A and B are shown apart, each in its own frame.
Chain A
Amino acid sequence: MNRSWWVWRGLLVIPVLWLGIFFVLPLGLLVVYSFLTHQGYGNVLWQWTGENYARLLNPTYGEILLRSVGLALGTTLVCLVLGYPLALWLVTQPRPWRTIFLLLVIIPFWTNFLVRTYAWMVLLGQRGVINSILLGLNIISEPLNLLFTPFAVWIGLVYGYLPFMILPLYSTLEKFDFNLVLAAQDLGANFWQILYRVLIPLSMRGIGVGCLLVFIPAVGAFVTPDILGGARSLLVGNLVQNQFLKTLDWPLGAALSVVLMLLILLPILLYLRLGEPGNPMNFSS
């Protein structure tokens, strides 16, 4: 035990305390609450029960959970399909331009997420920009119902989380040696073969990180469906929010959160498993 060993241990105290107080403790409280008895209007009885989980067996909750996961998967897929070519294009740009284009991807972050989501209301509304243009060009005679539909939520999610896909892809592809593409071409590989055999396997890490960064917030999203989804596209995030802020059924909300967390943990475990043995975070071969 030399001195630097102690210094390192000492430096760990603060983050461990931080995580303990602000992450582990609240998480434990959440789990505890999910097993307490709901007493109406925000009060709980300190009596253990599995009732909250039993209530979740109601098939409607299952449907909404399934729909949230489906929507999150769809969002992730679209972000990947849109983000991958863009990231690829970005890294092939000459130096000064590359930085400028990357900045353009990041700049929307400087505006508040709520404002950007409200902007979609202005675009999608009955008297919104899209409907006005289509009506003006006589393409449609009645305004389309775009806002307050699952479609609007999906657009909002893809728009909101696309940068989370592009940035990790960019940082992975930036280190990619494009001589490998030339080598593959020399060996007679066509475009798709290069993509599937060379590019994608060597950028798996970025793809994995990007997909997680999009999927996890998308599956719990509640602001976007709240603003763009209306009454008919409830997601599991809204359910949790409703339990805590509207009906004040904290135990049910806690049980929902626990289930949701376990559901999110699954793809993360899967992701770690895909890594090389002994080095879970590294799976770029």
Chain B
Amino acid sequence: MAIKSWWRWWWLGLLTLGLAAWLPLGCTGLNSPPTPPAPTATLSIYNWATYIDPQALSEFEKRFNVRIKYDTFDSPDTLYAKLKPGNPGYDVIFPSDYLVTRMINEGMLLPLDQAQIPNQVNLSDQFRNPAYDPGNRYSMPYQWGTQGIGYNKKKIGRAIDSWEVMFDPQYRVSWQEESRATLGAVLIALGLDPNTTEASEINRARDWLIQHKGNIIAFAPDTGEELLNQGEVVLAFENSGDVFQVMAENPDIAYSIPKQGAILWVDTMAIPKGAPQVELAHKFINYLLEPQVAAQISNYTRYATPNQTAIQDKLIRAEDLNNPAIYPPPGVMRKLYILKNLPAPTLKLYEAAWNAVKLKVGKA
């Protein structure tokens, strides 16, 4: 066949392809309802991964006729590192308790205009005026939970209630890729204060982890529950709600708040300095504090809500509300510690300890 006729086929093919691509578009275009007005603004959000009901976002987009740009992080360290050199354009961020304090101290957050957040009346007194942000001047609580042990009860064969099992050489375990959390849990396991400023105690936790490195499979960046679900590990130090999310699909998995205690964390909503859409950011925070929205999100993520109205109005799924692993009874609550922001020299000790742990475990 001559070259020329090859070209003809080529063009014909291209034309057919073009037509095929255009036809279905054209047809749907004719039948579709009139399009809503184009969004007027874009709200940029930076939150933990798998930490919201996507429906709540699209509902906000519809109600306020805006577009949401949603980015996720996997550890508070990442959030801080991303914002520290200057806000890359986020309007609402979700820092954890101790990180709020640090960001306030370093002038990274914008004070909230309380008048624009009337829905804060729904918050439980327990979570108002917290030590990490007195008077809630810079942050509003979003959700809270514990960091305990997610485990495969079929493979372990019993219910666990102690941190000891995390150091048992016969089990494959994962810790979190988060210095304060993992070292804090080890400190609690050793009967020490997770907010300790004593170098000797921090180093004891470091040495204890290194000494038991034999069973550490991964320092999971907020993915321990996946490793648990896929059978890579039988024990994972993880956030309560993350474990509950995989429990829903895998009945072999359970969650425990060990008897020695655990870390209680509060994630908050805050507006970083340099946010392009400050007013819209307030609207978003206020929206997430609506009882229905807060309940919708907590029912999805299986984390506890600080929204008292949502609990009182029975908007929260009853099985979650009665689950002591999600809403622990007062006796357990007393043994839960909130991580505090620590002075820079102490943080340097934690950093150095964490580096040593990763190094020593990493060369195994």
A122, closest chain B residue (CB): B230
B232 lies within 8 A of chain A by Cβ: yes
Interface contact A41-B344, CB-CB below 8 Å: yes
A247 lies within 8 A of chain B by Cβ: yes
- Our pick among A40, A126, A249 for the contact of B344 (Cβ within 8 Å) is A40
A3: B residues at CB distance < 8 A: none
Interface contact B230-A148, CB-CB below 8 Å: no
C-alpha spacing A143/B177, complex, angstroms: 26
A61 lies within 8 A of chain B by Cβ: yes
A271 lies within 8 A of chain B by Cβ: no
Min C-beta distance of B171 to chain A, whole Å: 13
A248: B residues at CB distance < 8 A: 77, 80-81, 84, 351
A147 lies within 8 A of chain B by Cβ: yes
- Our pick among A64, A232, A244 for the contact of B81 (Cβ within 8 Å) is A244
B128 lies within 8 A of chain A by Cβ: no
B355: A residues at CB distance < 8 A: 242, 247, 249
C-alpha spacing A63/B179, complex, angstroms: 23
Min C-beta distance of A36 to chain B, whole Å: 15
- Our pick among A58, A126, A245, A249 for the contact of B232 (Cβ within 8 Å) is A126
B226, closest chain A residue (CB): A121
Min C-beta distance of B219 to chain A, whole Å: 5
B54 lies within 8 A of chain A by Cβ: no
C-alpha spacing A67/B363, complex, angstroms: 9
Min C-beta distance of A143 to chain B, whole Å: 7
A233: B residues at CB distance < 8 A: 362
Which of the four size classes fits the interface of chain B? 20 to 34
B216 lies within 8 A of chain A by Cβ: yes
B84: A residues at CB distance < 8 A: 42, 248
A225, closest chain B residue (CB): B362
B360, closest chain A residue (CB): A60
Scan residues 174-222 of chain A and give those whose CB is less than 8 A from a CB of chain B: none
- Our pick among B217, B348, B359 for the contact of A148 (Cβ within 8 Å) is B217
Interface contact B358-A125, CB-CB below 8 Å: no
B232: A residues at CB distance < 8 A: 125-126, 147-148
- Our pick among A64, A67, A147, A249 for the contact of B351 (Cβ within 8 Å) is A249
Scan residues 233-255 of chain A and give those whose CB is less than 8 A from a CB of chain B: 233-234, 238-239, 242, 244-249
The 8 A CB mask of B343-364 against A (1 = contact, 0 = none) is 0110110010011001111111
The 8 A CB mask of B142-185 against A (1 = contact, 0 = none) is 00000000000000000000000000000000110101000000
C-alpha spacing A146/B174, complex, angstroms: 16
A284 lies within 8 A of chain B by Cβ: no
Q: A125-B232, A230-B217, A245-B78 are in contact. Are A60 and B359 (CB under 8 A)?
A: yes
- Our pick among B216, B231, B358, B363 for the contact of A242 (Cβ within 8 Å) is B358
Interface secondary structure of A, over-half rule: loop
Interface contact B345-A40, CB-CB below 8 Å: yes
Min C-beta distance of A121 to chain B, whole Å: 8
Interface contact B362-A232, CB-CB below 8 Å: yes
- Our pick among A41, A127, A231 for the contact of B361 (Cβ within 8 Å) is A231
C-alpha spacing A263/B75, complex, angstroms: 32
B344: A residues at CB distance < 8 A: 39-41, 43
Q: A40-B344, A41-B102, A247-B179 are in contact. Are A234 and B358 (CB under 8 A)?
A: yes
B81: A residues at CB distance < 8 A: 42, 244-246, 248
Interface contact A125-B230, CB-CB below 8 Å: yes
B173, closest chain A residue (CB): A231
C-alpha spacing A246/B81, complex, angstroms: 7
C-alpha spacing A154/B230, complex, angstroms: 22
C-alpha spacing A127/B177, complex, angstroms: 23
C-alpha spacing A41/B106, complex, angstroms: 11
The 8 A CB mask of B48-68 against A (1 = contact, 0 = none) is 000000000000000000000
Interface contact B354-A247, CB-CB below 8 Å: yes
Q: Interface centre among A42, A143, A233, by most B CB within 10 Å?
A: A42
C-alpha spacing A238/B175, complex, angstroms: 17
Scan residues 32-51 of chain A and give those whose CB is less than 8 A from a CB of chain B: 38-43
B177: A residues at CB distance < 8 A: 246
Q: A232-B216, A247-B354, A249-B351 are in contact. Are A63 and B230 (CB under 8 A)?
A: no
A245: B residues at CB distance < 8 A: 77-78, 81
A63: B residues at CB distance < 8 A: 363
Q: Top 3 closest A-B pairs, CB basis?
A: A234-B362, A40-B348, A40-B344
Q: Residues of B at under 8 Å CB distance from A?
A: 75, 77-78, 80-81, 84, 102, 174-175, 177, 179, 213, 216-219, 230-232, 344-345, 347-348, 351, 354-355, 358-364
Further 8 A-B residue pairs, CB within 8 A, beyond A233-B362, A247-B351:
A38-B348, A40-B348, A41-B348, A60-B363, A230-B217, A231-B219, A231-B362, A246-B75
Can you report 22 A-B residue pairs in the complex whose CB atoms are below 8 A from each other?
A39-B348, A40-B344, A40-B348, A41-B344, A41-B347, A42-B81, A42-B84, A60-B363, A64-B359, A64-B362, A125-B231, A126-B232, A147-B232, A231-B216, A231-B362, A232-B362, A234-B363, A244-B81, A245-B81, A246-B77, A247-B355, A248-B80
